[in-house]
Amino acid sequence: MTGITRRSFLGRSSAGIAATATLPALTAGPQEKAAAQQSGPAPRTRIELTVNGESHALEVEDRWTLVEVLRDHLELTGTRVGCDRGECGACTVLLDGKNIYACSYLAVWADGKAVETVEGLARNGVLDPLQQAFIEHDAPQCGFCTSGQLMSAKALLNEGAEVTEQSVREALVGNICRCSNFLNYQAAVLAASRGA
Amino acid sequence: MADPMNVVGRPTPRLDALERVTGQARYSPDIRLPGMLYARILRSPHPHALIRAIDFAAALELDGVVAVLTHENCDIEWASGDRANPRMLFNNPVRYYGDAVAAVAATDRHTAEAAAQLIAVDYDTLPFVLDAEEALEPGAVPVQPGGNLAPPFGALAGGGAAVPGPAVYERGDVEAGLAESDIVIEDHYVSKHHNNAQMEPRTAVAQWESGKLTVWTPTQGITNCRDDIAEAFGLPYEQVRVICEYMGGGFGNKNQCQDTDLIAAELARRTERPVKLELTRKEDFLSIHGRWPTSQYYRVGAKRDGTLHAIELTGYSGMGPHIKSSGDIAGIDFYQCPNVRKTVHTVHTNVTTSANYRAPSYPQGVFGIASVLDAICHEIDMDPVEFHLRNATRQYRDATPYTSYGLIDCIEQGAEAFDWSGRRRPAAVDAGPIRRGTGMAIGAFTARLGLSNAMLRLDDAGTLWLHAGVTDIGTGAKTTLAMIAAEAMEMDLDRVEVVWGDTDRSPYSVGESGSRTTSHTGFAIVEAAEDLKRQLDERGPPGPGEELVAEASPNPTLDGEQRYSFAAHFVELEVDTELGGVHLTKYVAAHDSGRIVNPLTATSQVKGGVIQGIGMALHEELLYDRNTGIPVNPGYYGARIATHLDTVPIDVVFVDTEDAHGPWGAKSIGESTIIPVVGAIANAIFNATGRRIKELPIGRDRVIGAMS
Ligand code: FES
Ligand code: FES
């Protein structure tokens, strides 16, 4: 396989990373804020959490899920919602290093915890080896499940145990890919685990 | 061997792979506009009911609720939602569980959701019918005023008054052919609703600015979507802009515009604010569409030497209340046969609507015909590969030559890669509980030509800007088209930038459906490049601040020929006869898609199509409670969508063919990949067990039932 030669990742991604770092904690528009005040009873709680190494203090509605906070309030839209009910894995993030479905995890539960999302994988303009392997193995087709596949794969590699074809399949079983590019995802994770 | 080329034919990672692996790719659900409202839809809890009254006063009283639409205050027609009957955004009566009843716009999604629950609807429930054949029985509940039998789709597409009736195709004399046959097999096959289940749920964001409507929506065809929206609102095309930068899959259920686009636009118009309408996964399963379920009755005759002599198919396709696509049952055209009669009824039922899903009419039809032909092979003791070499189509419907033809190569090269002669054994030879079997099936899918458009701009920095009206639904179309442009201009791929996914910035495209993008838009690019090169020769490279621009809108046609892609698939599997499980152990997919522009993404297309087919064959089904008419498993888990554990290593073989049309002979790939899968698996299960399972999906229950 050829490596990615076309674009310099550094040039393109630095803007994205800088923007992430300067986001306001809560970005609801004035109308939304006014509406939330009027509607009164939706209870709110202040939480502090770390996202991709950066700490955020937020007031969240108790009914908000973690993925809602990430996508709608921290503008980290790289985490996708495929089902919003714990069936597809598109919303997978790491919570203190372990993969969870962010659609099925309330934001208030994340108080005091560290969250990693797809946006945190590349560091200093260098892709994570998993991301590089995903590109080389043509893992994303439509790409909608990709962030989730990456984060579950990351959790697997974080465990540090020996990675085999079967352990990859089992680690990713909660991440559906309807483009059904499963074989390429599996090959990419195996390659990344071997430093290939 | 086709001539080597500089760019085309080399495995090339996607141009936008980086955006896809870093989360930067922006999909429709990622769009967030200032002041945006969130919308939710209230749906019918009954399969068939008359709405007597709707009271949404309580919903409007909720803080943050801005607007409510119902059939009483909104009469916009969703033309592409039904070709046979008028279909409004909100219908009365409601005709399936999940039919849209009302839409609410509010300041946030939780409020919209809560408000939808506050809408009181008074229903008069009506009797319902779920099954296509039952719907045609005398006295059946009429789903549509015109009756339950729809007109043939071809008649609808032609416009004019279409009369209800089956679609009939005939050649030769099927009754005489059956009488002349040495062996006749008569049998019945049943396939089920199979949901596209694309990963990205439907979301539409609409905004009006100075009378111009912009809609961000996941669509496979931005031009069609724009045209449909413009028609619904009575606007000139220029007043509507459709944007789809990235799209999370569709497989046929994001063609044209959806009701969600129109509902979001109407709510935005009334509230004078941007509106984002989001569907839940359950709504997506029920309200968009999946592959139509079929009931197929065959009578097939052959001579003792294995020559196919007569095929009769009478079929019924349950389309739900609305007719969005053909309802055909395809597959018999893959065979030479002098006597053929096919009669297919498309029928209205009170279940979720069915329409296009990857090779819409094929995998279910191939399940039937490939199974029947396999049964003939078994009866006359003929190897299926030999049978296919003898009977596979040589000319389209035995009359029209193909522009290029690699089907026999697919069968031969696929069989060799699979080691068919080494692996194939007689049926049911294993004695233990785990029994191994092999099977094969073939496929063909059109690689038609047609109108498309492309624009090329060469700027003074030497960058080639390719404007193409595609969205790249996951096929890799952006990369494929950029490669074609680079090849045609004899440039490096690095110097090509694609402008896509926005009707204001990219020209007409037929849309990414029907496996057409490479052939149609690719060919337009080659033509535009010819013009650009001519300009370059005449005028030299553009000076500072200058550009050279070329545009082409070719509409190539075929004279007395048909253009098709072909495939032959081979599978080996193990059946657990005690627990009913089926485990695939080897898969070979041989394809003739003409020249392969990007082998990397083309191979991914094949693997993806095969695994979707495995899910259809073994697991997937939308189940209905027959007493209530309510679907019981709409969702990934319930409908048993394939996962990482359902995979098998897949060897992909591309055979070489030379085709005089399209961009350097590239044909089509996306849909042919799923066509033979179900048939090949069903045949391998017979070879393993000696039992033929005639109803999909071939789950554990059916395997155990067949063994007992
Ligand atoms: S979106 Fe969370 S599991 Fe599907
Ligand atoms: S790449 Fe499309 S769902 Fe996985």
pLDDT band at B33 (very low <50, low <70, confident <90, very high): very high
Domain annotation covers residue B115: yes
Asked if residue B104 and residue B88 are part of one domain, the reply reads yes
CA torsion sign for A71, A76, A77, A82 is negative
Same topology, domains A42-118 and A121-196? Answer is no
Shortest distance between the Cα of B279 and any Cα of chain A, in A, equals 10
Asked if residue B112 and residue B222 are part of one domain, the reply reads yes
Closest CA to A182 of A89, A100, A103: A89
pLDDT at A4: 35
Nearest to A142 among B26, B36, B247 (CB): B247
pLDDT at B226: 96
The residue to which tokens 């657990």 are assigned: B576
**Last residue of a domain, which of B487, B520, B552?**
B552
Kindly state the helix (H) or strand (E) to which residue B556 belongs, with its residue range: none
pLDDT band at B159 (very low <50, low <70, confident <90, very high): low
| Cβ separation B62–A1 shorter than 8 A | no
pLDDT band at B473 (very low <50, low <70, confident <90, very high): confident
Residue A180 Cβ inside 6 Å of ligand 2? The answer reads no
Asked if residue B667 and residue B523 are part of one domain, the reply reads no
User: Choosing among A4, A119, A138, which should be mutated to test the B contact, i.e. which has the most B CBs within 10 A?
Assistant: A138
| Cβ separation B27–A173 shorter than 8 A | no
pLDDT at A196: 57
Nearest to B249 among A71, A175, A179 (CB): A179
Shortest distance between the Cα of B142 and any Cα of chain A, in A, equals 34
Pairing of strands B183-191, B194-195: unpaired
Kindly list the residues from chain A whose CB atom is less than 8 angstroms away from the CB atom of residue B475: 141
Nearest to A83 among B11, B608, B635 (CB): B635
Please write the tens of the pLDDT for every residue from B314-357: 999 999 999 999 999 999 999 999 999 999 999 999 999 999 99
pTM score: 0.94
Nearest to A180 among B29, B608, B649 (CB): B608
Asked if residue B455 and residue B428 are part of one domain, the reply reads no
**Last residue of a domain, which of B552, B585, B616?**
B552
* pLDDT higher than 80, residue B640: yes
* pLDDT higher than 70, residue B469: yes
Please write the tens of the pLDDT for every residue from B223-242: 999 999 999 999 999 999 99
Which CATH architecture does the domain made up of A42-118 adopt? Roll (3.10)
Angle subtended at Cα A10 by Cα A8 and Cα A14, rounded to the nearest 5 degrees: 135
Sheet holding A92-95, edge to edge: A54-61, A44-51, A114-116, A92-95, A98-101
For residue A181, how far is its CA from the centre of ligand 2 (angstroms)?
A: 7
Shortest distance between the Cα of B425 and any Cα of chain A, in A, equals 28
- CB-count exposure of residue B480 (10 Å: 0-12, 13-18, 19+): buried
What is the average pLDDT across B122-132? 98
pLDDT at B518: 85
Shortest distance between the Cα of A34 and any Cα of chain B, in A, equals 9
Cα separation of the two ends of chain A:
11
Residue A179 Cβ inside 6 Å of ligand 2? The answer reads yes
The ranges assigned to domains in chain A are 6-39, 42-118, 121-196
Are the C-beta atoms of B626 and B130 separated by less than 8 Å?
yes
pLDDT band at B255 (very low <50, low <70, confident <90, very high): confident
We report the CATH number of the domain holding residue B388 as 3.30.365.10
Residue A130 Cβ inside 6 Å of ligand 1? The answer reads no
| Cβ separation B13–A135 shorter than 8 A | yes
Answer left, alpha or beta for residue B327, where phi above 0 means left and psi between -120 and 50 means alpha. Answer: left
Asked if residue B458 and residue B443 are part of one domain, the reply reads no
Please write the tens of the pLDDT for every residue from B48-89: 999 999 999 999 999 999 999 999 999 999 999 998 899 999
Least confident of A176-180, B179-183, B218-222: B218-222
Distance in angstroms (rounded) separating the CA atoms of residues B694 and B370: 11
What is the average pLDDT across B673-698? 98
Q: Cβ of B303: how many Cβ atoms within 10 Å? A: 13
Please write the tens of the pLDDT for every residue from B506-548: 888 877 777 788 888 899 999 999 999 999 999 999 999 999 9
Kindly state the helix (H) or strand (E) to which residue A190 belongs, with its residue range: helix A182-193
| Cβ separation A122–B22 shorter than 8 A | yes
- Host domain of residue B209: 28-127+203-278
Nearest to B21 among A76, A84, A150 (CB): A150
CA B442 to chain centre: 18
Closest CA to B465 of B473, B474, B456: B456
pLDDT at B78: 95
Closest CA to B627 of B130, B285, B295, B45: B130
Domain annotation covers residue B187: no
For residue B471, how far is its CA from the centre of ligand 2 (angstroms)?
A: 15
As for how many domains chain B has, the answer is 3
pLDDT at B245: 94
pLDDT at B389: 98
Asked if residue B656 and residue B564 are part of one domain, the reply reads yes
CA torsion sign for B121, B125, B130, B133 is negative
Shortest distance between the Cα of A48 and any Cα of chain B, in A, equals 23
Asked if residue B675 and residue B538 are part of one domain, the reply reads no
**Last residue of a domain, which of B278, B307, B340?**
B278
Q: Under CATH, to which class is A121-196 assigned?
A: mainly alpha
Which of residues B64 and B472 earns the better pLDDT score? B64
Asked if residue B235 and residue B366 are part of one domain, the reply reads no
Nearest CA in chain A to B611: A180
Kindly list the residues from chain A whose CB atom is less than 8 angstroms away from the CB atom of residue B30: 71, 77
Kindly list the residues from chain B whose CB atom is less than 8 angstroms away from the CB atom of residue A179: 199, 249, 474, 604, 608
Asked if residue B454 and residue B442 are part of one domain, the reply reads no
**Which are the contacts of B412, defined by CB distance < 8 A and separation ≥ 6?**
B389
Residues of chain A with pLDDT under 70: 1-40, 196
Asked if residue B384 and residue B309 are part of one domain, the reply reads yes
Asked if residue B101 and residue B43 are part of one domain, the reply reads yes
We report the CATH number of the domain holding residue B87 as 3.90.1170.50
CA atoms within 13 A on the CB side of B395: 8
User: Phi and psi of B297, rounded to 5°?
Assistant: -105, 120
- CB-count exposure of residue B707 (10 Å: 0-12, 13-18, 19+): middle
Nearest CA residue ID for atom 4, ligand 2: A177
pLDDT band at B160 (very low <50, low <70, confident <90, very high): low
Kindly list the residues from chain B whose CB atom is less than 8 angstroms away from the CB atom of residue A121: 22
